[in-house]
Amino acid sequence: MTVPGSQLRGTVAPTAPGRLGEAIDVAAAGAYVDALGRWCAERQAELAQLDRAALQSPDSAALTHDITLSMALWKSVSDRYQLLLATWDSGRVGPTERERMSSLIWGRMDSTLDASALGAGGGAATGSSLSVSLPEACRLSDALAGQLRVRLALDPSGLEIADRVRRLRAQLERIRDQVGLEVAGPRQQQAAKEQALLGRRLKEVAEKAARGGDVGGLLDPLENDASRFERDLIVGAATRREAGAKVRRARALRADLQTREAALRTLADSCVTTVFPAPNYAVPDVDALGPVPNTPVTLDAYLARLEQVSRAMNHAQQAYSKALQDRAELVSRLEAYRAKAVATGLAEHPDLLRAHEIATEELHRRPTSMPIAVQLVTLYQSYLQITPSRPGPPADPDSSTRPDSSTSES
């Protein structure tokens, strides 16, 4: 369906400067921020027009999903642009700010897009969000918008053929680079075949256009297929990166749990031999989980089990640590009461001496019976509270009747 009087020219994302971990050149950073700002504004206007056209299309319901995805992707890019703009601060940037801008451009964006929603062929949903860099998100947005323009027939027919061919050539170069990032094997070989097929189709279109032929009917499906293919490559690369990150996370978490397991067993043994009654929690066996898998479905389940084991270890560690801490606090309480008794002159009182001796003996017993130790320390505290202060030296009964020497002398 062609919307009367509508000719929509698609915007193309600017080329990103620099690379991750390096400070961007000041001039390149300023030019990119300006270009990205224009791209965001133009893409927003383009999506608004595409949305209006989709509402008028007989296939409006089928287009709603793609429109929503495009708008969500534009929002993610726009949010990252706002961070870049704030960091740029009208050019008041040093090496630290320019390196931060590089991280904002080439680092991974936390997008709310579902990777499965962007995949072709209606693959099974993974429930994981898509993580791409800013340039990849911009190219993905270009591809989605281009696909929508073709489906809505909003590109001018018979006009700007050379410009469309030029854009297709640039897109195929990006596709060639993306194919090179595929894992060597059948998948990469299939991608290379599809890339070569798109290249032959573009060559045929360009040659026919150069002879003056009408290529409008050939460009639309070619642009649609190229945009779909580029989209699938970007999504596939992001999904592989995410799977690789999950494998690394699972290995690191498993190694950490194995270290914690050994330390927790030592802590549990120490607690059992030190206090009674001691907590009775089993220490999880990390080796029972098996090796780290490498398939997405089993990897998610494996990570969930690792998290469950981690929570169980945390609970057991807190219980055993608290039991030992309670005994240590009881020892500290008895020492504090003893110090108070010394300060008040009651430390050698027979009742306090006997209570302190019994409490100390129980606290040094292995294992220490905590209920009895608590009662004994409390007993010592009670003796300390009710035992009267030691009286001072007795007064001399003759002192009041003895004559003052100074008076007698006088």
Q: How confident is the model at residue 220 (pLDDT cuts 50, 70, 90)?
A: confident
Please tell me the predicted confidence (pLDDT) of residue 129: 61
Tokens of 236: 């596939």
The larger pLDDT score, comparing residue 153 to residue 22, is at: 22
Sign of the dihedral defined by the CA atoms of residues 34, 40, 46, 48, in that order: negative
Q: What is the mean pLDDT of residues 367-379?
A: 95
Q: Say which residues have a Cβ less than 8 Å from residue 44's Cβ, sequence separation at least 6.
A: 74, 78
74-101 residue pLDDT tens: 998 999 999 999 999 888 999 999 999 9
Please tell me the predicted confidence (pLDDT) of residue 6: 42
168-213 residue pLDDT tens: 989 999 999 889 878 788 888 899 999 999 999 999 888 887 666 7
Query: Percent of the chain beyond pLDDT 70?
Result: 83
The larger pLDDT score, comparing residue 400 to residue 338, is at: 338
Please tell me the predicted confidence (pLDDT) of residue 61: 85
Beta-strand relationship, 368-369 and 275-276? parallel
Domain ranges of the chain: 1-156
Q: What is the mean pLDDT of residues 300-318?
A: 93
Alpha helices per DSSP H over 129-160: 134-152
> In the predicted model, what is the mean pLDDT of the chain?
83
Return the closest-CA partner of residue 84 out of 146, 36, 45: 36
DSSP conformational letter for 155: S
Q: How confident is the model at residue 125 (pLDDT cuts 50, 70, 90)?
A: very low
Return the closest-CA partner of residue 159 out of 302, 31, 298, 8: 8
